[in-house]
Amino acid sequence: MESLNYDFVVLGSGIAGLTFALEAAAHGKVLVLCKSALSETNTAYAQGGIAAVLSNIDSFEQHVQDTLTAGAGLCDETAVRFMVERAPESIKWLQQQSVQFDTAPDETIALGLEGGHCQHRIAHVKDHTGLSIQQALSKSAFQNPNITIAEYHLGIDLLTQSINQEKVCYGVQALDLVSGNYKAILAKAIVLATGASGQVYQYTTNPTIATGDGLAMAHRAGATIRNMEFFQFHPTALYNPTSKDTFLISEALRGAGAELVLPDGTAFMQLYHPLGSLAPRDIVARAVYEQMNLHHSPCLYLDATRLPEGRLQKSFPFIYTKCKSIGIDATLEFIPVVPAAHYQCGGLETDLHGQTSISGLYAVGEVACTGVHGANRLASNSLLEGVEFGRAAATHASENAKQRFSCFKSIVYSLADTCSDALISEIKADLQALMWEHAGIVRTTEGLTIAKEKLAELKYKLEQCHTFSVAVQELQNMLTTAELIVQACLARTQSIGGHYLANEPTKTEMQFPENIAAACL
Ligand code: FAD
Ligand code: SIN
For residue 519, pLDDT beyond 50: no
The DSSP bridge pattern shows strands 182-192 and 259-261 to be unpaired
Query: Could you list the residue range(s) of the whole structural domain that residue 387 is in?
Result: 2-229+345-400
Residues 297 and 375 in one domain: no
382 Cβ inside 6 Å of ligand 2: yes
pLDDT 10s digits, 410-430: 555 554 456 788 999 999 999
Mean pLDDT for the chain overall: 93
Residue 198 near residue 204, CB atoms below 8 Å: yes
Q: Is residue 512 scored above 50 in pLDDT?
A: no
- pLDDT tens digits for range 236-256: 999 999 998 899 999 999 999
Task: Say if residue 36's pLDDT is above 60.
Answer: yes
Q: What is the mean pLDDT of residues 389-401?
A: 94
- For residue 205, the model assigns a pLDDT of 98
How far does residue 247's CA lie from ligand 1's centre (Å)? 15
Distance 412 CA to ligand 1 centre (A): 30
> 171 CB under 6 A from ligand 1?
no
Q: Are residues 180 and 289 in the same domain?
A: no
Beta bridge partner(s), residue 479: none
Q: Quick one: what percent of the chain has pLDDT higher than 70?
A: 93
240 assigned to some structural domain: yes
Answer yes or no: do 67 and 158 share one domain.
yes
Same domain for 267 and 160: no
* 452 within a domain of the structure (yes/no): no
| In a shared domain, residues 21 and 43 | yes
How many structural domains compose the chain? Answer: 2
pLDDT of residue 468: 82
Assess if residue 485 is contained within a domain.
no
- Rounded Cα distance, 258 and 508, in Å: 26
List pLDDT tens digits, range 130-163.
Answer: 999 999 999 999 999 999 999 999 999 999 999 8
Q: Which of 273, 306, 341 is the last residue of a domain?
A: 341
Question: Residue 515: its pLDDT value, please?
Answer: 39
- Do residues 240 and 212 share a domain? no
* C-alpha 122 – ligand 2 centre gap (Å): 10
What average pLDDT does this structure show over 363-374? 98
What is the CA(240)–ligand 1 centre distance, in A?
23
Name the closest ligand to CA 341.
1
End-to-end Cα separation, the chain, in angstroms: 61
Measuring CA to CA, how many Å separate 388 from each of 60, 83, 138, 372? 15, 6, 17, 11
Question: Does 315 map to a domain?
Answer: yes
Secondary structure E strands in 130-202? 147-150, 153-163, 166-176, 182-192
Residue 118 included in any domain: yes
Among the candidates 294, 310, 341, a domain finishes at 341
Regarding whether 97 and 62 lie in a shared domain, the answer is: yes
Judge whether 27 lies within some domain.
yes
pLDDT of residue 285: 96
Instruction: Give the DSSP H or E segment for 409.
Output: none
**Same domain? 205 vs 324:** no
CATH number for 46: 3.50.50.60
**Residue 218 and residue 262 in one domain:** no
pLDDT at 511: 43
3-state DSSP helix/strand/coil % of the chain, to nearest 5: 40, 20, 40
* Residue of 42, 250, 316, 338 best suited for mutating to test ligand 2, as the one with most atoms within 8 Å of CB: 250
Cross-strand bridge partners of residue 183: 2, 174
Helical (H) or strand (E) element with 226? strand 225-226
**Contact, 281 vs 239, CB < 8 A?**
no
How far does the centroid of ligand 2 lie from the alpha carbon of residue 380, in Å? 6
Indicate which residues carry an active-site annotation. Answer: 281
**Is residue 250 in some structural domain?**
yes
The per-residue pLDDT for range 261-307, each reduced to its tens digit, is 999 999 999 999 999 999 989 999 999 999 999 999 999 999 999 99
Question: Looking at the structure, do residues 389 and 245 belong to the same domain, yes or no?
Answer: no
Q: Which atom of ligand 1 is nearest to the CA of 34?
A: 21
Please list, residue by residue across 305-336, b when 16 or more beta carbons sit within 10 angstroms of its beta carbon and e when fewer do.
Answer: bebeeebbeebbebbbebbeeeebebbeebbb
Give the list of residues 6+ apart from residue 341 with CB closer than 8 angstroms, or none.
198, 200, 201, 203, 204, 205, 206, 231, 232, 233, 234, 436, 440
Q: Domain check: are 187 and 268 in the same one?
A: no
Indicate if 145 and 20 belong to the same structural domain. Answer: yes
Ligand whose nearest atom lies closest to the CA of 285: 2
127 Cα nearest atom in ligand 2: 2
- Residue 43 beta carbon below 6 angstroms from any ligand 2 atom: no
Q: Say what the pLDDT of residue 504 is.
A: 78
- From the list 4, 512, 511, 488, the residue with the least C-alpha distance to 229 is 488
Domain boundary among 301, 319, 341: 341
For ligand 1, is residue 195 a contact (CB within 6 Å)? yes
* 277 in contact with ligand 1, CB cutoff 6 A: no
Nearest to 377 by CA among 112, 35, 98, 67: 67
Q: Is the CB of 250 under 6 A from ligand 2?
A: yes
Nearest ligand to the CA atom of 390: 1
> Looking at residue 255, which CATH number applies to its domain?
3.90.700.10
Q: What is the pTM of this model?
A: 0.95
| 97 CB near ligand 2 (under 6 Å) | no
> Is residue 471 domain-resident?
no
pLDDT at 521 over 60: no
Name the pLDDT band for 506 (thresholds 50, 70, 90): low
HEC string of 424-464 equals: HHHHHHHHHHHHHHHCCCCECHHHHHHHHHHHHHHHHHHHC
